[in-house]
């Protein structure tokens, strides 16, 4: 199908663009009353994720309501550990919770073996097909998965954490187990991303939300090594790598086979540009909290960010997911500011 708006794909490949493309991490979600209405009509988050027609509906909402230049398939990174045999629950106001965790070889052996990940996650590929049919080429659709390190964090800790000390403990006490689990996550993630692409995802993003809790050496060994295995096996569509908080590893991350590198809001755009060079597109990175400011302040800060860009190789986003209590009107101001900005390069 021909895309009417392929700005984000051209920006990712470093081709010429008329204006910077813009989308928001977590754009399909609680900021929109329309999302909350769909969610309230179902038993909860998981039912929404697992019902392709409804997942497609909330995926398209931000395209219609906010005017973003890309849709991201409504799902969660945690569908992968679940497909491997660790069921999760999304606890209201608390976040993810796993009854079983993997902290020993015995527990690793209890994970499901020889799984058909593509079959187990067919509700996601089905949602991708429905979404593209309904989008009818208006904007590209982004597929995604968690990076192995971040998925490892949830599988070993069993819930969110500020420090993920149970996860990091294993790196010191049983690195062999860590590598075994990371390898298994990596293998299914490659198959899963390829299935998303086959179903119609026009680009894919790998989220390493907990990259920043590892030191540089450990991130190279337990993080980057596995992202590389994924990135080097995906050549069908542009790949975005987002390693939140991994300041010291940005050069190594950008050296992996990818098109775009995501920046969080603590990262200075020009510093990272100097480290990364012109062969990669940079994505980000307004502070999600900036959207609590007044409309004129949102406009000013967005323009300041755009003024700091020194090339066309940018995709505009926040530095992390949009916070659920942000006023959608502020999000619209952010998006409109980007859309009316004239590129000087
Ligand atoms: O719009 C989009 O970005 C697509 C959908 C999407 C969700 N989760 C939906 C969601 C994406 C890309 C994710 C990725 C995700 N999930 C990450 C990586 C990105 C990041 O934010 O760092 C992580 C770490 C998760 C795990 C996860 N899922 C947590 C920790 C939570 C609870 C915290 C929270 O925000 O409530 C979730 C739940 C979740 N995933 C919600 C949504 C819309 C909120 C659930 C609800 O509707 O009640």
With the most atoms of ligand 1 within 8 angstroms of its CB, the residue from 321, 328, 331 to mutate is 321
**Nearest ligand 1 atom to alpha carbon 62:** 1
Establish if 89 belongs to a structural domain: yes
What whole-number distance in Å separates Cα of residue 292 and Cα of residue 301? 12
Establish if 248 belongs to a structural domain: yes
With the most atoms of ligand 1 within 8 angstroms of its CB, the residue from 46, 61, 76 to mutate is 76
What pLDDT shows up at residue 80?
A: 98
Establish if 131 belongs to a structural domain: yes
Q: Rounded to the nearest whole angstrom, what is the distance from the C-alpha of residue 200 to the centroid of ligand 1?
A: 22
| Percent of the residues in the chain that have a pLDDT greater than 70, as a whole number | 100
Q: Indicate which residue of 36, 76, 247, 287 is catalytic.
A: 76
What whole-number distance in Å separates Cα of residue 164 and Cα of residue 169? 9
What pLDDT shows up at residue 323?
A: 97
Q: Which domain holds residue 184?
A: 7-340
Within 6 A (CB) of ligand 1 lie 25-30, 39, 45, 72, 74-78, 90, 95-96, 144, 160, 207, 209, 321
Active site residue 76: yes
Establish if 2 belongs to a structural domain: no
What pLDDT shows up at residue 129?
A: 98
What whole-number distance in Å separates Cα of residue 56 and Cα of residue 129? 9
> What are the tens digits of pLDDT across the range 174-208?
999 999 999 999 999 999 999 999 999 999 999 99
Binning pLDDT at 50, 70 and 90, where does residue 77 land? very high
Q: Indicate which residue of 88, 154, 219, 341 is catalytic.
A: 154
Q: Rounded to the nearest whole angstrom, what is the distance from the C-alpha of residue 58 to the centroid of ligand 1?
A: 13
The CATH number of whichever domain residue 69 belongs to comes to 3.20.20.210
Establish if 242 belongs to a structural domain: yes
Establish if 228 belongs to a structural domain: yes
Q: Rounded to the nearest whole angstrom, what is the distance from the C-alpha of residue 310 to the centroid of ligand 1?
A: 32
Q: Indicate which residue of 10, 19, 30, 301 is catalytic.
A: 30
What pLDDT shows up at residue 303?
A: 98
Instruction: Domain count for the chain, please give it.
Output: 1
Question: What sign has the CA pseudo-torsion 223, 215, 288, 154?
Answer: positive
Structure tokens at 155: 């599988």
The length of the chain is 345
Give the SS3 label for residue 204: strand
Residue 270 has pLDDT above 90, yes or no: yes
Q: How far is CA 267 from the centre of its chain?
A: 17
> Nearest C-alpha to atom 17 of ligand 1 is from which residue?
77
What is each CA distance from 53 to 31, 50, 123, 266, in whole angstroms? 20, 9, 10, 37
What whole-number distance in Å separates Cα of residue 119 and Cα of residue 133? 21
Instruction: Give pTM, 2 decimals.
Output: 0.97
Residue 90 has pLDDT above 80, yes or no: yes
> What are the tens digits of pLDDT across the range 139-161?
999 999 999 999 999 999 999 99
Q: Indicate which residue of 26, 36, 138, 301 is catalytic.
A: 26
Structure tokens at 104: 């020993």
Residue 1 has pLDDT above 80, yes or no: no
Active site residue 26: yes
Residue 345 has pLDDT above 90, yes or no: no
Q: Rounded to the nearest whole angstrom, what is the distance from the C-alpha of residue 343 to the centroid of ligand 1?
A: 32
Structure tokens at 181: 């689990």
| Percent of the residues in the chain that have a pLDDT greater than 90, as a whole number | 98
> Nearest C-alpha to atom 3 of ligand 1 is from which residue?
26
Residue 92 has pLDDT above 80, yes or no: yes
In our burial notation (b when 16+ CB lie closer than 10 A, e otherwise), range 275-294 reads ebeeebbbbbbbbbebbeee
What pLDDT shows up at residue 222?
A: 98
What pLDDT shows up at residue 344?
A: 86
Q: Rounded to the nearest whole angstrom, what is the distance from the C-alpha of residue 65 to the centroid of ligand 1?
A: 20
Q: Rounded to the nearest whole angstrom, what is the distance from the C-alpha of residue 18 to the centroid of ligand 1?
A: 31
> What are the tens digits of pLDDT across the range 235-261?
999 999 999 999 999 999 999 999 999
DSSP at 323: P
Establish if 1 belongs to a structural domain: no
Active site residue 30: yes
Establish if 345 belongs to a structural domain: no
| Look-up of token digits 């209405």 | 37
| CB 134, CB 198: distance < 8 Å | no
> What are the tens digits of pLDDT across the range 24-52?
999 999 999 999 999 999 999 999 999 99
What whole-number distance in Å separates Cα of residue 238 and Cα of residue 243? 17
Instruction: Give the chain's mean pLDDT.
Output: 97
What whole-number distance in Å separates Cα of residue 57 and Cα of residue 53? 6
Q: What is the mean pLDDT of residues 80-100?
A: 96
Active site residue 39: yes
């Amino acid at each position: 199908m021909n895309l009417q708006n392929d700005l984000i794909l051209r920006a990712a490949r470093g081709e010429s663009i008329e204006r910077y493309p813009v989308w928001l991490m977590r754009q399909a979600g609680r900021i929109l009353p329309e999302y909350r209405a769909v969610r309230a009509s179902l038993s909860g988050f998981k039912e929404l994720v697992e019902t392709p027609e409804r997942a497609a509906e909330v995926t398209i909402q931000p395209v219609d309501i906010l005017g973003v230049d890309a849709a991201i398939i409504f799902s969660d990174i945690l569908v992968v550990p679940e497909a491997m045999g660790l069921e999760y629950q999304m606890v209201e106001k608390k976040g993810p919770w796993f009854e079983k965790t993997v902290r020993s070889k015995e527990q690793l052996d209890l994970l499901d073996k020889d799984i058909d990940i593509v079959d187990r996650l067919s509700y996601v590929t089905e949602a991708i097909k429905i979404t593209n049919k309904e989008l009818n080429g208006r904007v590209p659709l982004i597929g995604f998965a968690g990076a192995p390190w971040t998925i490892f964090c949830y599988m070993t800790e069993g819930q969110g954490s500020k420090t993920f000390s149970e996860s990091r403990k294993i790196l010191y006490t049983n690195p062999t187990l860590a590598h075994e689990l990371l390898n298994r996550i990596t293998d299914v993630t490659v198959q899963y991303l390829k299935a998303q692409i086959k179903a119609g995802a026009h680009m894919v993003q790998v989220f390493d939300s907990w990259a920043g809790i590892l030191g540089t050496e450990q991130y190279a060994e337990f993080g980057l090594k596995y992202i590389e295995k994924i990135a080097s096996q995906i050549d069908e569509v542009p790949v975005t790598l987002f390693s939140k908080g991994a300041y010291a590893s940005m050069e190594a991350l950008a050296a992996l086979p990818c098109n775009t590198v995501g920046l969080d809001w603590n990262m200075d755009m020009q510093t990272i540009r100097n480290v990364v060079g012109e062969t990669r597109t940079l994505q980000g990175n307004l502070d999600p909290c900036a959207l609590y400011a007044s409309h004129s302040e949102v406009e000013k800060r967005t323009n300041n960010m755009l003024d700091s860009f020194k090339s066309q190789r940018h995709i505009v986003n926040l530095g992390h997911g949009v916070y659920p209590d942000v006023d959608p009107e502020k999000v619209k101001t952010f998006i409109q500011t980007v859309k009316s900005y004239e590129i000087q390069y």
